[in-house]
Structure 1
Amino acid sequence: MPHVPAEPAAPPRRPTVVVAVLAFAGIVVALMQTLIIPLIPQLSALLGATASDATWVITATLLAGAVATPVVGRLGDMYGKRRMLLVSLALLVAGSAIGGLSDTLAPMVVGRALQGLAAGVIALGISIMRDELPPERLGSATALMSASLGVGGALGLPAAALLAESTDWHVLFWTSAGFGVLAAVLVVKLVPESSVRSGGRFDLVGAAGLSAGLICLLLAISKGADWGWAGGLTIGLFAASAVVFAAWGWWELRTRQPLVDLRATARRQVLLTNLASAVFGFAMFAMSLVLPQVLQLPVATGYGLGQTMLAVGLVLAPSGLVMMAMAPVSARVSRARGPKVTLMLGAAVVAAGYGLSVVLMSAIWHLVLVSAVIGAGIGIAYGAMPALIMAAVPVSETAAANSLNTLMRSIGTSVSSAVAGVVLAQLTVTFGALTAPSENGFRLVMAIGSGAALVALAIAAFLPGHRRSGAFPATSRVPTGAPAEAPGSG
């Protein structure tokens, strides 16, 4: 398909404004994922559904986000990243409005699925930054954008808990819709559309295959505990995902314009970064599963702290602020030593934070300290991941490559949730009518998180050094339809 070349995009006059708007959009998406947490214990009663069916409110968002992230990234490379960013925010607003109007399970699941389709906003934001920002601003900007998922999640929890306790629960969804509208208006007014596009034809077969494989895999992971890990449905879904992914890989290697360039993905720097991201996502999520439970369990258990959900949010909020503060630190380390060292440093800090939790879990300030240290490591490491990816892929494939990296983190967090669920279900204690995970179970999950962070560090150690990581300049601007330079040809 012929393309009419456009003039290269000029650097924005106000890069700080562009960064702030894109980071705000990322935080809004993270808030969407957090707002449902205070409602989880009451979901079945609020929606008139069984407890098992109510979990689809969570699962629908997970599946929709996993499917949308790589697809939206590829569409952004082809048709415009800002355009797909606005489409994603529109879906977020629509899903939030449906949730705000829902009192039964079916429409709520639909609304949460639409919200999940906005998961590609952060990868798209990073890609817009690569196209539009001057080189000296790119490192700290992408670090902040990458960390916005954790920042929004940590800051959104106390706000969501406060709204849930003091107002009607539907207000949570209307608040999300309002923030989504505000983010979209700011993007329209202040973020330019990049001229860097790959063009070509969208790989519908590849998108369908990847979607089917991800749905089978993540459905088995997220529902395996309810269905039984040895049950026929769970095993069947795992087997189906393996078959579908094999067929999908065969197709992607043979089609001229694949959804995911598997040859580029197999390059050492991209492959190892994605593997480290998946393991790091596993490590990151352990904190979110353990600390809220320890804070909320009754004091009578001997290790619970008997706090409210609002207190849980206030304890975890500092970790989000620390993530934000670490974004410029991550950029400075990457400039001085390379993103490989930054990723290794972040993984080491996360491992140390989890190590602290094994001995510091008996007071509120212990958990504030642990979450802040882990948040610091996440903020450092998340800034390095997009830098490593963008240094190894053509500028015309930035959004797709960053989206795949984001997807790998999501898969890691899903596996972490399943593993932690199994551990905590096996190690329980009974206090009268209450059966709860034991203190040793919580410590074991945190120790597993520390071990996962060390595995991520070991994987990162095999990445190329920073002198070899820059096959592509950070802000190469290619006009629409211009051929992308082959990786490594510089």
Structure 2
Amino acid sequence: MTQTTTDRPSGRAGGAVVPVLAFAGIVVAVMQTLLVPVIKDLPLLLDTSPADATWVLTSTLLSGAVATPIMGRLGDLYGKRRMLVASLAVMVVGALVSAFTSDLLLMIAGRTLQGFAMGAIPLGIGLMRDMLPHERLGSAMALMSSSIGVGGGLALPAAALVAQHSDWHALYFGAAGLGVLAIALTLAVVPESPVRAKGTFDLPGALGLSAGLVLFLLPVSKGGDWGWASGTTLGLFGAAAVVLLLWGLMELRVPAPLVDLRTTARREVLLTNLASIMVGVSFFVVSLVLPQLLQLPAGHGLGRSMVVAGLCVAPLGLTMMFTAPVYARLSARYGPKTTLILGLVIIAIGYGGGLGLMDAAWQTVVTSVVIGAGIGLAYSSLPALIIGAVPASETGAANGLNTLMRSIGTSVSSAVIGMVLAHTADTVGGVEIPTLHGFRISFLIATAAVAVGLVLALFLPGRRPSEQHPRLRASSEEDANLEHAEAALRGFRGRVLDAAGAPVARAEVTLTDRHGRRAGATVSADDGTYALAVPARGPYVLAARAAGHAPLASPARHEGDGRPVDLDLSLPGETVST
């Protein structure tokens, strides 16, 4: 079975595609951030207990974690633009539900629907990967990946201003309006991707993953309220381990899994996902600590207003946005692994310096700028590393899983930092108030997470930019030769010939696995030689086509032993041109 879709850009992507997709990502971030200014007031606003009020935030986290990999896979199967619009539409419905109610249960239901918008990030990255030429792809993916931070940074002061001077329900009306605008722009500007994965949607896999994620993230989010050693918390963690283990065994047996665990277990993908968790931890710590530090009264904080606090933290997101073009240049020269390492080092410097910069508002701005620059570089590197390691038909699901890893990092960060601040708080008038000591411990925890991420990044396979995925590297002849030499050592190699046995230059050669998924692509050299690496042992189909020749598809098998398989591809006679 051969893959009928293409690994090349559709050619229909206009100049407005990247800004529109980035705007969709920013809308998702606004949805996530709009309640931050009123978190402490939610029990009063909803007439409920503090423990019950936290479900308004937890529900969004859980639905977002579940929806992200599922929407990514649905996008691979049925169209990424279609699923992007669906994600945003569900968010708009959820925002309107929340806008018209102050009832706790309805608010939780609305926020649950809003969490589905999280799938927009990997879907947007997948659309860019399918449509954009390589010279635009790096900076575009960097901007899309950083849009969560950009939107969060811009939304904080805006949401604080609205919450301080208007009815807080206006926040939801604003989010719904932005969602409708994002849908309209997407339909008007963004073409549908022609790339499709083979197979059907893995419903049992989706249900199993959803159950496992809920069982894991629920005690992570609520463990501080329930008690980390309570029977409920430990029981849910144990159930999560069992469900996810059974889900993994099932996914290894189905022909078209929701998540291809064999691909996910590859060194580059696995280490990138683990590093993503650490980056997620580091991003959320600064987002959680600095607003509280700025707003708490003198003696515990800097005594600034809600709006001033939002403005001081806004540079965190703005710096992430401005690092996107910087990332593109650095990655083109040194590769995404290097930019990830550089980003993590800058984050560590920001947190290390931030330990001594908690005495004035301007100092928090410096901390925001430095950490934002590091997170921008790190976040921008992650999709490039994932896309460079998976087939084209799996980019939506793979980036969805990567986005999920970041969400798990923020969830774990929220639980751990919440516990630290609670245990180091002072009790004033019966109210627990975080202390500078707790904030500094939180920064140390973030620094430790960055250090773990740095170690993981150092063990990523070292690749020159010329060895990246074909859609992420330059197309110079020197780079192509380096790729051929590397691939020839661990895959198929040979020559593309015409009917008379003469070499065919610039022929497109593609590799398809037994599931019909594209596993690699290259172009033959001037002497007709080609080389393609294989991701694993098994049967493949090598297809070749060139102008003036009929296409050829040749079955082949590789044992995955690191030795090359020599296979010449003889194209049929010339086609008749009209």
TM-score (norm 2): 0.81
Task: Give yes or no for contact 1:391–1:474 (8 Å, CA) kept in 2.
Answer: yes
Would the alpha carbon gap of residues 461 and 366 (structure 1) be closer, same or farther in structure 2, given more than 3 Å must change? same
2:11 corresponds to: 11
Task: Give yes or no for contact 2:76–2:196 (8 Å, CA) kept in 1.
Answer: yes
Q: Which 5+ residue runs of structure 1 have no aligned equivalent?
A: none
Would the alpha carbon gap of residues 402 and 3 (structure 1) be closer, same or farther in structure 2, given more than 3 Å must change? closer
1:362 corresponds to: 359
- Cα deviations across residues 392-448 of structure 1 (Å, max 9, x unaligned)? 000000000000000001001111111111211111224455432221111011011
Asked if 1:232 corresponds to 2:231, the answer is: yes
Task: Give yes or no for contact 2:279–2:379 (8 Å, CA) kept in 1.
Answer: no
Q: What's the C-alpha RMSD, in Å, of the aligned pairs?
A: 2.1
- Cα deviations across residues 271-316 of structure 1 (Å, max 9, x unaligned)? 00000001111111111111111111111x2x41111211111001
1:67 corresponds to: 66
Letter in 2 for 1:440: H
Task: Give yes or no for contact 1:127–1:399 (8 Å, CA) kept in 2.
Answer: yes
Would the alpha carbon gap of residues 150 and 469 (structure 1) be closer, same or farther in structure 2, given more than 3 Å must change? farther
1:244 corresponds to: 243
Asked if 1:484 corresponds to 2:520, the answer is: no
Q: Which one scores higher on RCO, CA 8 angstroms, separation ≥ 6?
A: 1
Q: Kindly, what percent of the aligned residue pairs are identical? A: 56
Letter in 1 for 2:304: Q
Q: Which has the larger radius of gyration?
A: 2
1:53 corresponds to: 52
Letter in 2 for 1:339: P
Equivalent in 398, 406, 409 of residue 409 of structure 1: 406
1:238, 1:79 → 2: CA distance?
34
**SS of corresponding position for 1:486:** strand
1:322 corresponds to: 319
**SS of corresponding position for 1:359:** coil
Pairs within 5 Å for 1:419-438: 419-438=416-435
Task: Give yes or no for contact 2:93–2:113 (8 Å, CA) kept in 1.
Answer: yes
Would the alpha carbon gap of residues 469 and 225 (structure 1) be closer, same or farther in structure 2, given more than 3 Å must change? farther
**SS of corresponding position for 1:444:** helix
2:436 corresponds to: 439
Task: Give yes or no for contact 1:128–1:194 (8 Å, CA) kept in 2.
Answer: yes
- Cα deviations across residues 211-245 of structure 1 (Å, max 9, x unaligned)? 00000100010000000101111000000000001
Task: Give yes or no for contact 1:96–1:173 (8 Å, CA) kept in 2.
Answer: yes
Equivalent in 388, 391, 414 of residue 391 of structure 1: 388
Q: Which 5+ residue runs of structure 2 have no aligned equivalent?
A: 474-507, 521-532, 536-578
Asked if 1:27 corresponds to 2:26, the answer is: yes
Shift of 1:474: 3.8
Letter in 2 for 1:484: R
Task: Give yes or no for contact 1:8–1:195 (8 Å, CA) kept in 2.
Answer: no
Task: Give yes or no for contact 1:196–1:477 (8 Å, CA) kept in 2.
Answer: no
2:540 corresponds to: none
**SS of corresponding position for 1:466:** coil
Pairs within 5 Å for 1:96-245: 96-245=95-244
Task: Give yes or no for contact 1:394–1:472 (8 Å, CA) kept in 2.
Answer: no
Letter in 2 for 1:45: L
| Number of equivalent positions | 485
1:90, 1:230 → 2: CA distance?
40
1:472, 1:40 → 2: CA distance?
45
Would the alpha carbon gap of residues 173 and 393 (structure 1) be closer, same or farther in structure 2, given more than 3 Å must change? same
- Cα deviations across residues 196-215 of structure 1 (Å, max 9, x unaligned)? 00131111111011000000
Task: Give yes or no for contact 2:7–2:195 (8 Å, CA) kept in 1.
Answer: no
Shift of 1:169: 1.1
Task: Give yes or no for contact 1:38–1:160 (8 Å, CA) kept in 2.
Answer: yes
2:343, 2:133 → 1: CA distance?
25
Compare the two structures and name the one with the higher strand fraction: 2
Letter in 2 for 1:117: F
2:567 corresponds to: none
1:136, 1:473 → 2: CA distance?
9
**SS of corresponding position for 1:12:** coil
2:467, 2:42 → 1: CA distance?
47
1:54, 1:447 → 2: CA distance?
29
1:286 corresponds to: 285
